[in-house]
A and B are shown apart, each in its own frame.
Chain A
Amino acid sequence: MPPGRFAVLRGLLALAFALILIALGCGGDDAASVRSLTIVVNAPFSKTPYVGETIAHGVELAAAVAGPIDTKDGTVELRVRRLDNALSPRRAIANVRRAVADDAVAIVDEGTGVDGSWTIANDARIPIGVTYQGGMGLVDVDRRPNVFRIAPTDRGIAFRLAEYLIPKRLRVAILTDDSAYGDEGRAALAQSFGSNPEAVAIQLRLPADAPDLSPQVLRARRAGATALLVWARPTTIANVLTAARSRRWSVPVYAPPTGADPLVRQQLADQPQWVDGLTFASGRMTAELGPQAWQTFEAQFVNRYGPDAIGVKTSEGLDVLQPPEYAMYAYDFVNVLAEALRQAGTDDRGALLDALNEVTVRGANGDERGFNLHNHEGVVDDDVYFARFDDMTFAPVKDDPLSSTLPVIDQTR
């Protein structure tokens, strides 16, 4: 072979090595840079700003705390994008389409429109984390493999309410409003009280927009009710309290988590004694291990966003603050997502969905949070507790085994 051909071959080999080195060098630069992965918050920022803001705050705080996450595809960090669903399923679905177009890594959702939006996200293998609504059909591990939830379920709340109320031998009037939330509650309560019809005095569907619910409350009283269970929006709960207390009917009133919504107390700020005794069921904010985990989370939250004063005062003139309960669920979902990213070692959406079934993190309240192959609910029914209002703040009840173990959370300043 003539020497000139060796020279050409050597030159080609040298060029190939140089190109490989350049390519390797480029890869190194990519690995060193930090890519952003977007979490879309799909929530009603315009219609119920408190709900939208608290979810978004929880997500933003968790994304900040998670910091850079190392994967084999390089270092990533989470950034947050807010999209307003205005409580409209149509807008919620449009938001999910936008999230898919933006290649979002996950959607943290208030729950509106998920019945229609989950397939769009599932086609792109994007997980949806519901952190507010507890409707029974929203999460189905077999049919909706990309939908997860960290929030108390309606089923769990209804089951615990029945477990708490039936042994008291009360005759319960079940009042639900005609909102979607009320209808979900009516279905859940029908299941939980179904085996004990003797415990139910009457079931009534209330008009959500009616300011005066006196006729319905009077009907419940005439039916022999010794307790009212109001599964409705906050304004309806306040209206039921007004109707009962203004007629000096001191019947005990029970409610789902909406009973703790600031709107109930704001609406009854002129008659704070009417709120006294209102008992609601919700997900616990502290674990058995103690309140330290919650206090740490709350301190981080308040440092970043300030205390959430709801505009009412105690009898001693102290401002009443709302604990960031629903922010906690959004915060926990993002922490589970970040842990799944770490475990998967990649932001490949399929691998991430698989990893979401395998990881557990310590939640903001000290509870273990995670999902598994059979269950995409991050709050177990056993974690539902009961709290009762007194002087515009609430404390866990003492006549329920779980609630009696929980400390009182400070709600004043």
Chain B
Amino acid sequence: MRGAIVVFVALWSAGAAGAGTVLLPSPTRPLGSEPPLRAVGPVVQVQLPRPPRIDNSQQVLVGVAASGAVASVDVRQQLTLRGLGDFFFQIPAPMRDVRALPQSQSEPGLRRNAVLWQGFSPGRRVLAAELELVAGGVASALPLRLERDAGSITLRNTTSVDVEGFTGNARPSALRRVLARIRRQATLRRPLAPAVEIDGTTTRRLLRVDAPLFIRASVTREGRVLRRMRFVVGGPRPRQTTIRAPEGADVTLSAVPVPLVADLTRPRRGATAEELLLRAQRALLRLARVNQYRSFLASPGLGPNGTVYRFRTVDAPAAQPAPTRHGDGGLLPVLALVVGGIVAVAGGVVLWAHL
């Protein structure tokens, strides 16, 4: 979905005249379809303990081939259910296998494109599993791409997305208060979407946003650490960076989406209302993108999400693209048969007419 324009639905109408209260973009609404991962499969009715609250913690383990292509993707997901009662739900993802982790208090079930969890929570229940995903089917949902050249590796933040925003006439003092509030609430897991008073018409504007990634990287060769680094890609920093990594060296790095918005919420003196309004929207949309990448696999209910993406270079070849995620592999032969049948009947009719 990268490069696509995402239209967020808010309580405003571009071009509308007159003063009115306008809700700014939600900092929790996903921009684009993935993550969390989706997959085609039967839908089940979700049942959760009451009150439903789930901590969703994940580690995405990505194996990167020498070429930089994604060779494998495994996810260790731990869901901590709180509340008393039955649970029954699926976590969708294109996957090959699943196994319980030692700390899990239930066994995961495997269905085509889904992990199945079922049981009873006596107040707290830990569900933990390692999923082996179809690498070719999920690589595009990863937030980072690695490209290896001789002597270096380039890290590219791939979370950017174009979103429709708007400009309009608002009071700068009100907008500065909104920016301060966004800054204060940025680290909250579920910040609120603020509202502003707009006087007159609004005009659509395309905004490009991404999720800043905090990177910890280490370059080793034969067990000896050559370099350790910490830096941010995306957000207030450039979207790509290159690190030195001699050929034959192993690179491991972790990437965590971080809600950095200070560059947007601390405007210069004398900034115009239009600039302030756009900064507020960019900040909120960036938070939305960060929240989206905090949940690589879906959670069946509300609660905090956290995902660490761990990349390491491996010797394995790059994964092949997933053959299909929609189960329509049998359509082509059927169509060929139907078309063939029609041609045969038509031929018969023509032959009949000429005899």
A283 to chain B, nearest CB (A): 12
In the assembled complex, the Cα of A6 lies from the Cα of B352 at a distance in Å of 10
Which of B113-121, B131-139, B191-199 binds A?
A: B113-121
Contact for A405 among B85, B88, B106, CB less than 8 A:
B85
A341 within 8 A of B: no
Main secondary structure of the interface of B (DSSP, over half): strand
A2 at the interface (CB under 8 A from B): no
Does A375 make an interface contact (CB < 8 A)?
Answer: yes
Quick one: closest A residue to B105, CB to CB?
A382
**Are A372's CB and B355's CB within 8 A?**
no
- A372 & B116 in contact (Cβ 8 Å cutoff): yes
Cβ contact within 8 Å between B355 and A6? yes
Interchain CB contact under 8 A, A402 and B122: yes
Contact pattern, B 94-114, Cβ under 8 Å of A = 1, otherwise 0: 000010000000111111100
A380 pairs with B119, CB closer than 8 A: yes
Report Cα–Cα, A6/B47, bound state, in Å.
72
- A372 lies within 8 A of B42 (CB): no
User: Does A143 interact with chain B (Cβ within 8 Å)?
Assistant: no
**Complex interface: chain B residues within 8 A of A9 (CB):** 355
Q: Once bound together, how far apart are the Cα atoms of A299 and B109, in whole Å?
A: 33
| Partner pick for A372 among B86, B106, B110, B120, CB 8 A cutoff | B110
Q: Which residues of A contact B47 (CB under 8 A)?
A: 368
With A13-B351, A368-B44 as contacts: A288 and B86 at CB distance below 8 Å: yes
Q: Is the C-beta of A360 less than 8 angstroms from some C-beta in chain B?
A: yes
Q: Is the CB of B123 within 8 A of A13?
A: no
- Whether B42 contacts A358 by the Cβ 8 Å rule is yes
| Size bracket of the B interface | 20 to 34
Indicate if the CB atoms of A373 and B355 lie closer than 8 Å: no
CA distance A356 to B112 in the complex (A): 12
Interface core residue of A10, A343, A382 (most chain B CB under 10 Å):
A382
Known: A288-B86, A380-B119, A402-B122. A360 touches B110 (CB 8 A): no
Assess whether A359 is interfacial by the CB under 8 Å rule: yes
Of A13, A287, A373, the contact of B110 (CB 8 Å cutoff): A373
Complexed CA–CA distance, A360 and B108 (Å)? 15
Q: A382-B106, A401-B122 are in contact. Are A357 and B111 (CB under 8 A)?
A: yes
- Is A367 an interface residue, CB under 8 A from the partner? yes
Would you call B151 an interface residue if the criterion is a C-beta within 8 Å of the partner chain's C-beta atoms? no
- Count contacts between A and B, CB distance < 8 Å: 63
B226: chain A residues at CB < 8 Å are none
| A372:B84 contact, CB within 8 angstroms | no
How far is it, in angstroms, between the C-alpha of A358 and the C-alpha of B42 when the chains are bound? 8
Q: Please determine whether B86 and A367 come into contact, CB atoms closer than 8 angstroms.
A: yes
Query: Which of these, A288, A372, A401, contacts B111 with CB under 8 Å?
Result: A372
> Looking at the complex, which one of B111, B118, B122 makes contact with A368 (CB distance below 8 Å)?
B118
Answer whether residue A178 sits at the interface, using C-beta atoms and an 8 A cutoff.
no
- Secondary structure at the A interface, as helix, strand, loop or mixed, is mixed
> A72: CB under 8 A from chain B?
no
Q: Which of A138-173 contact B (CB under 8 A)?
A: none
| Complexed CA–CA distance, A413 and B283 (Å) | 68
- Contact (Cβ within 8 A) A405 B98: no
Q: Mark A320-353, 1 if CB is under 8 A from B, else 0.
A: 0000000000000000000000010000000000
Q: Is A308's CB within 8 Å of the partner chain B?
A: no
A374:B108 contact, CB within 8 angstroms: yes
- Across-interface contacts of A405 in B (CB, < 8 A): 84-85
Given contacts A405-B84, A405-B85, contact A10 B355 (CB under 8 A): yes
| Chain B residues, Cβ within 8 Å of A261 | none
Q: Are A360 and B44 neighbours in the complex by a CB distance under 8 Å?
A: yes
How many angstroms between the C-alpha atoms of A10 and B116 in the bound complex?
A: 62
Residue of A nearest to B99 (CB): A374
A residues near B248, Cβ cutoff 8 Å = none
Q: Does B86 contact A287, Cβ atoms closer than 8 Å?
A: yes
Q: Across the interface, do A372 and B109 meet the contact criterion of CB distance under 8 Å?
A: yes
Contact string, A355-398, partner B, CB cutoff 8 A, digits 1/0? 00111100000011011111100001111000000000000000
What chain B residues lie within 8 Å of A368 (beta carbons)?
44-45, 47, 88, 118
Shortest A320–chain B CB gap in Å is: 28
Residues of chain A contacted by B116 (CB below 8 angstroms): 370, 372
B348 CB within 8 Å of chain A: yes
Q: Which of B84, B88, B118, B348 contacts A13 (CB 8 A)?
A: B348
In whole Å, how far is B133's beta carbon from the nearest beta carbon of chain A?
Answer: 15
Residue in A370, A371, A401 whose beta carbon sits within 8 Å of that of B123 in the complex: A401
Q: Distance (Å) between the CB of A123 and the closest chain B CB?
A: 25
On whether the beta carbons of A375 and B107 are closer than 8 Å, the reply is yes
Q: Which of B119, B348, B355 contacts A382 (CB 8 A)?
A: B119
Q: Inside 8 A of B98's CB, which chain A residues have their CB?
A: 374
Residues of A within 8 A of B110 (CB): 372-374
C-alpha gap A317/B111 in the complex (Å)? 51
Contact B355 A13 (CB under 8 A): yes
Q: Does B42 lie within 8 Å of A359, measured CB to CB?
A: yes
Contact of A374 with B106 in the complex, beta carbons under 8 Å: no
* A144 to B351 Cα, complex, angstroms: 56
B113 CB, min distance to chain A CBs, angstroms: 10
Chain B 65-90 against A: per-residue CB contact (8 Å), 1 yes, 0 no?
Answer: 00000000000000000001110100
- Of all chain A residues, the one with the shortest Cβ separation from B41 is A358
Complex CA gap A13/B112 in Å reads 48
Which residues of A sit under 8 angstroms from B42, Cβ to Cβ? 343, 358-360
B contact residues around A383 at 8 Å (CB): 119-120
Which residues of B sit under 8 angstroms from A380, Cβ to Cβ?
A: 106, 118-120
Q: Give chain A nearest CB distance to B41 CB in angstroms.
A: 8
7 closest pairs, A vs B, by CB?
A401-B122, A372-B109, A382-B119, A382-B120, A373-B110, A374-B110, A288-B86
Q: Give 29 A-B contacts (CB < 8 Å), ordered by A residue.
A: A9-B355, A13-B351, A13-B355, A287-B86, A288-B85, A289-B86, A343-B42, A357-B111, A358-B42, A358-B111, A360-B42, A368-B47, A368-B88, A370-B116, A372-B109, A372-B110, A372-B111, A373-B110, A373-B112, A374-B109, A375-B107, A380-B106, A382-B120, A383-B119, A401-B84, A401-B120, A401-B122, A401-B123, A405-B84
